Amino acid sequence: MFLTKKQIQTIGFLARDDWNMMINHGGVRAGKTFIDNLMFLYEIERVSKIASRQGISTPMYIMSGATAKTIENNIIQPLGEVFNIYPTADKYNNLYIRGVKIVLAYHGSISGLQSIRGMTAFGAYINEASLANPEVFSEILKRISAIDSARVLVDTNPDIPSHWLKTDYIDKAINSDSVRYTPEEKKRSQIIQNQFILDDNTALSKKTRDNIKALTPSGMLYDRAIYGRWVSGEGAVYADFDENKHFITEGELPVTMDRYVGGVDWGYEHSGVIQVWGVVGDTYYLVKEVAKQHQEIDYWVGVAKEVIEEYGNIVFWADTARPEHIARFVNEGIDAQYADKKKLKGIEDVARQIKADKLFVVRDNAKEFASEVFAYVWDQKKGEPVKDRDHAMDTARYVIHNDLSEDNEVQILRGIF
């Protein structure tokens, strides 16, 4: 089994008894998930042995993730594919490995408290911790009290610098590069933090790493994905959008499109927007946009029917803020679908297309998009775009994100890599 230098350094802390929480955080494809899952298996083995010595037949352990799907994708499936470990499950969805009962908790909402309240656990593995409800995270830590040597493994990606996980835990942790702690450090913290960057993962060839860098959008997205930095965005959200390259004329469009897809952002006081995107392979072309204020649903039904007449019975990914409008579209025979509105993941998808030169806009046909794209900027405090003049941006996000994404999991801004 090949381990990188960073992974060897990280797993080496399992042999030490001077910590009770390890937080592994950092960039995309940096090797965090693999080593986290491997360390989890070692921890389960350790817990099993301790419980056996204490005469405890079924020790309990907490596995926490944002959702059931992310636990499956990030932990359970890789355990089978990489380590040939297939946990058994009971009717309550508890998992069992080496006689250890693993209780699943979904920390993405406050309801995640329900599965762990009152239990006493030998340890915990918290995946995608930056997505955790802080109350659920705190409750998990309170449940880890079955033994003095109980440990918590935490995996996360970067978020804004003021995120509670960074200020309350990472900033107070000992950097793993401090191989020998000073007495002052020991008194200060029992938390270790390991920051991973892409170039730590020497299991990937330099060419692969260079390709990842080349395809990663600039600015905050790059800093988080490549260097694992906890940073806020500054300036334009789509910093790689080049008006001399990505704005085109109708004459520069492909002669034929493979298909078309539509998007809708409802509005009244602000502009409502319908967009039509042509798709060739994995490249998107914004070919038509209608943006109007103070229009009722009848108007938008008419626009959608005109689009269908011109481009065929295409799907419209629609803003879920007005379900009654979506229902009206459907009743009119329009293929309107509820758009997945994950803002940060959608931004990633659009930004990647721009960076890869796989998104183009017919400027004369998309005046709202053209007026918004350079005014679409980051809110440095929130780590999200400023909510102003973003209606065409939202519509584009609905289309690109929902048409591209199968799992809809955030990769750079939040979530697991």
* Strand partners of residue 247: 361
**Tell me: the pLDDT tens digits for 365-391?**
999 999 999 999 998 888 889 988 899
Which has the closest alpha carbon to 366: 251, 294, 263, 276? 276
Q: Determine the Cα–Cα distance for residues 232 and 250; give it in Å rounded to an integer.
A: 37
Helix (H) or strand (E) holding 355: helix 343-355
- The pLDDT tens digits for 61-89 are 999 999 999 999 999 999 999 999 999 99
Q: Which residue has the tokens 């020790």?
A: 59
Please give the biggest Cα pair distance in the chain. Answer: 77
CA distance 135 to 112: 9
142 burial via Cβ count (<10 Å: 0-12, 13-18, 19+):
exposed
CA distances (Å), origin 94, targets 44, 104, 108, 116, 190 = 14, 6, 18, 12, 29
**Got the DSSP string for 361-382?**
EEGGG-HHHHHHTTT-BEETTT
Q: Is 193 helix (H, G, I), strand (E, B) or coil?
A: strand
pTM: 0.78
Q: What confidence tens digit (pLDDT) does each residue in 278-305 have?
A: 999 999 999 999 999 999 999 999 999 9
pLDDT number for residue 18: 86
Report the C-alpha gap between 191 and 185 in whole angstroms: 10
Partnered with residue 263 across adjacent β-strands are 275, 317
Q: If pLDDT is split at 50, 70 and 90, which confidence band does 138 have?
A: very high
Instruction: Please name the residues in contact with 394: beta carbons below 8 A apart, sequence gap of 6 or more.
Output: 265, 273, 319
Predicted confidence (pLDDT) at residue 412 exceeds the cutoff of 60: no
Query: Per-residue pLDDT tens for 215-238?
Result: 999 888 899 999 999 988 888 999
All domains in the chain, ordered by first residue: 5-215 (3.40.50.300), 243-404 (3.30.420.280)
